[in-house]
Amino acid sequence: MRHDRIDPRNAPRPVAAPRRGLWSAVLSLLSPRRPDPSGVTLRTPPERPDSRPGAYPGSAPLFRPFLADPRPVLFGAADPAADRAAIHHMQGFGLDVVTCNTFRGALTRAHGQPMGWSTLVLSIDGFGGPRLILDGLMNLRRKLPHLPVILVSEEVRFHDFTTERMALCDVTIRAPISGPALELALAEAGANNLIWQARAAAMHQQDA
């Protein structure tokens, strides 16, 4: 039986397998996730980055809906100097920022001027973490459902722009704060807050 020899120069070359590690990482960022059992919510940006502001951190936003509200942002942090970057980012967006260095002080200002703030941003790590401020946050959400709330903490592993924690806040972001993440948080907090207002109104009608 005759066997034809194949010239090594004409032999087909093996096709390199796709780099699954890289694509897996990209897909993991683009696909929605479920809440992690440890309590850390893993989530990705909106489905349509072409139609949502700042859909992916680092991208240029199409618009900044929060700039339509002329009211200042109320920013609570135990040491505002330590969160100077966040203040700098918000001022860079064109927002006025009023700071409070205690959790109680931030809540007092929020309740004292219920229509005076566009958003409440709380850097909660210096306030003892979420467990010590849980009651205050829940009370705030019941009494001021129209006020978008953003929580900032080093204890979360990922930004959470979903509606999973609406009883406490509209958005959670991981510290240290980056400009794109904060920009997206401000936009998403306003959108999520509309959902929370509808839920709060429905709960109020049920209780009535």
In a domain? residue 11? no
What's the Cα-to-Cα distance from 184 to each of 14, 136, 160, rounded to whole Å?
44, 25, 11
Question: pLDDT at position 130, please?
Answer: 61
3-state secondary structure of 152: strand
76-88 confidence digits (pLDDT tens) = 999 877 688 899 9
Helices and strands, number each (H, E), in the chain: 5, 5
| Tally of domains in the chain | 1
76, containing H or E segment: strand 73-77
Residue 158 in any domain: the answer is: yes
DSSP state of 158: S
Owning domain of residue 84: 71-207
Q: What is the CATH number of the domain that holds 164?
A: 3.40.50.2300
Residues 103 and 195: beta-carbon distance below 8 Å: no
Is residue 178 included in any domain, yes or no? yes
Place of tokens 């920013």: 75
The tokens 């953003």 sit on which residue?
A: 150
Q: What does the pLDDT look like over 35-84, one tens digit per residue?
A: 333 333 333 333 333 333 333 344 444 457 788 889 999 999 998 776 88
Report if residue 20 sits inside a domain: no
Cα Rg of the chain, angstroms: 23
Task: Report if residue 55 sits inside a domain.
Answer: no
- Position 56 in a domain: no
pTM: 0.69
For residue 14, the SS3 value is: coil
| Segment (H or E) for 150 | strand 149-153
